Amino acid sequence: MSSPYPVVRMKPKSEARAIRHGFPWVYANEVVTDRRTKNIQPGAIAVLEDENRNPMGVVAVNPNSKIFCRMLDQNPEAVVNQAWMEACLSRALCHRERLYDAPYYRLIHAESDGLPGVVIDRFGDAAVVQPNAAWADVMFEELAAALASVTGVTTIVKNGTGRARTLEGLAEETTCHSGKLDGPVPVEMNGAIYMADLLGGQKTGLFLDQRQNHAFAQRLTNGAKVLDVFSHVGGFSLAALAGGAAGAVAVDGSAAALELALQGAEAMGVQDRFSTIKGDAFDVLTRLETEKAQFDVVICDPPAFAPNKKALEAGLRAYERIAKLAAPLVAPGGYLALCSCSHAVDLARFRNASARGIGRGGRRCQLIHTGSAGPDHPLLPQLAESGYLKALFFRLDG
């Protein structure tokens, strides 16, 4: 059986062995870019061959991206259509249904789940799809149809925003592709209720990757006074209140996110123990230190300070500064949790920057727990970028 797709060939001495061993990307400088190759449209499907014309699999192609090819299927005779997508989605769904008793999870974690560049978060009968690669944008109708067929979701949101789409040369757009939304979707996790804005919120509306870290934080917060910095819709603070915290303060720069956090607290019936501060996190931390404020548990979960290698050093300095400002706010014997979702910052560098910051804040610390994203965010061992989230929990001395 011959493939219906054009051929893309790797250059001599390129990393064909890495591709065979599971690395999912072929960079533009590894591909023979003749006239035929350059005429392939962004988002097209092709067969990848090594330098000796041996087929290696079916790939998605984008000549406008540094990632020229993304591996879709190592079977060179595979046909990428709705049925193929349904098979991928079914495998992913089987894994999540073993893990969770309610349909709130990341269903597709891009390359790790065999749909490169695609993120799908499920919120009950609704799902948010981020088609961050050209092929998924071109084939979005088939992808949405496969998603509805496999999961039974009735509302599908296309969230076409973010840096990844810019790197792919894709326009930004967010639309409700099918179904309807009457407002934020309540999502229950770890006993807390979060209000997820699937159309207007950050990313897909809720950071599902922190679920396990919320649960660990709960173990530290019974009867505690908690400060949740970069709180978004109340991630750690609402989890702490569900776990019996005496009180929680959420700090964020977004009034809309804090309003959703308040709605979540009201839905839980804990609004009397919850308050918010809108402002720049660095400024708020500085002011709280001036006021000699003290908390039993402080959590800082900032956005990616180092989204790429160029921003690495500046990002590490920012993480160190957050730790320095937060450490004095922790009561003696209390806990400080510091998180990073930066792809470019590995665990060792983040840990070192955090420890330096705590020391500069005048405190000594013990590292008691290291967390990551949950099992609905699987890591592809050959692709370090798929394991981006790091959460460090420290106990601080007097």
Domain extents in the chain: 7-73, 82-178, 186-396
Question: Could you give the C-alpha distances from 233 to 50, 197, 218, 338, in angstroms and in order?
Answer: 48, 9, 17, 17
β partners of residue 105: 122
For residue 371, pLDDT beyond 90: yes
Asked if CATH classification 2.30.130.10 holds for the domain at 7-73, the reply, yes or no, is yes
Compute the mean pLDDT over every residue in the chain, rounded to the nearest whole number: 95
The CATH superfamily of 82-178 is RNA methyltransferase domain (HRMD) like (3.30.750.80)
The predicted structure's pLDDT at residue 2? 67
Q: What are the tens digits of pLDDT across the range 19-33?
A: 999 999 999 999 998
Residue type, 51: E
The predicted structure's pLDDT at residue 38? 81
Find the helix or strand (DSSP H, E) in which 188 lies: strand 185-189
The predicted structure's pLDDT at residue 387? 86
For residue 5, pLDDT beyond 60: yes
Q: What are the tens digits of pLDDT across the range 183-203?
A: 999 999 999 999 999 998 888
Strand, coil or helix: 240 = helix
Sheet holding 390-396, edge to edge: 274-278, 247-252, 225-229, 295-300, 330-340, 390-396, 365-371
Closest by CA to 28, choosing from 143, 139, 169, 131, is 169
Integer Cα distance of 62 and 33 in angstroms: 12
DSSP state for residue 385 in the 8-state scheme: G
For residue 1, pLDDT beyond 90: no
Closest by CA to 43, choosing from 151, 141, 163, is 141
Q: At what angle do helices 235-242 and 255-268 cross, to 10 degrees?
A: 10
Q: What are the tens digits of pLDDT across the range 109-132?
A: 999 999 999 999 999 999 999 999
The predicted structure's pLDDT at residue 317? 97
The predicted structure's pLDDT at residue 7? 94
pLDDT above 70 covers what percent of the chain? 99
Q: 326: which 2 tokens? A: 């937060």
CB 129 within 8 A of CB 155: no
Q: What is the mean pLDDT of residues 235-252?
A: 98
Q: What is the mean pLDDT of residues 33-61?
A: 93
Q: What is the mean pLDDT of residues 34-58?
A: 93
Domains 7-73 and 82-178 share a fold: no
Structurally, what CATH architecture does the domain formed by 186-396 represent? Answer: 3-Layer(aba) Sandwich (3.40)
pTM: 0.95
Cβ-count burial of 339 within 10 angstroms (0-12 exposed, 13-18 middle, 19+ buried)?
Answer: buried
